[in-house]
Amino acid sequence: MVLYRSIKSQSGVSLISMMVGITISLITAVAMLTLFRHSIKISTDTTQISKQDAERSSAMTIAPILLQDAGFGITDASVSSHIIALKGAAFSVANKLSGTTAASGETANALVWLRNLGTNFECSALFAAPDKGLMLLGPINCSALTEWSTASWPPAKPLASLGTFNFVLSNTAGTCSQFGYASLGKATVTIQSNNATGQAIRSQSCLSNLVVSP
């Protein structure tokens, strides 16, 4: 008698097939998570760059307006007597400003100026620390610009929290335009910085109260 053994067909998947499927799924999930994280990082970086550039642009717009106070209300206001540029400037934790007076056309990292409000004189300053943005100091009561180094300044007000700014104060007579108005023999200030991608940006403004003799 010939005996036949019935062979039942198996259904489902083998352990190896299941492990291969799980491995492929894990690889796909990791790839998707990596792509998601990369997209989030790009979005965050773009937002941060846009914020930094907007802050720098705002500072480059506000600073020239503030500088129009230099020599205000003072007869025959002049560079050196009513505005100076400082190189190697520093602002201490004791709220003291230090630095060396820069020559005309020399790069500096601080500007100090004097204005007359009629009832009192005030000093103000713009200070830029490397990679720490641009700050406004003052105004404070002072009888002469020479008091800038001994004065106790109030806490700095940030105009831009990041980036490196510098100034070039020019005491050379010439023609410059401010808000579309051309004027002769005015001192000028050039503010220089870089945007978030490293591209140089600059802004030049006339100091309308400071006449330079030819």
Average pLDDT in the chain? 83
Domain boundaries, the chain: 53-211
What does the alpha-carbon distance between residue 113 and residue 145 come to, in Å, rounded to a whole number? 7
Confidence of residue 149 (pLDDT cuts 50, 70, 90): very high
Q: What percent of the chain has pLDDT over 70?
A: 82
The tokens describing 71, both together, are: 């020599």
Please name the residues in contact with 112: beta carbons below 8 A apart, sequence gap of 6 or more: 83, 84, 86, 97, 123, 124, 125, 145, 148
pLDDT of residue 20: 78
Asked whether the predicted pLDDT for residue 1 surpasses 60, the reply is: no
pLDDT of residue 18: 76
Q: How many CA atoms lie within 13 A of 4 on its CB side?
A: 3
pLDDT of residue 211: 76
Pair type for strands 166-170 and 107-108: antiparallel
When mean pLDDT is compared across 45-49, 142-146, 170-174, 176-180, the lowest value belongs to 176-180
Asked whether the predicted pLDDT for residue 134 surpasses 90, the reply is: yes
Q: Between residues 58 and 136, which one has the greater pLDDT?
A: 136
3-state secondary structure of 72: coil
pLDDT of residue 161: 83
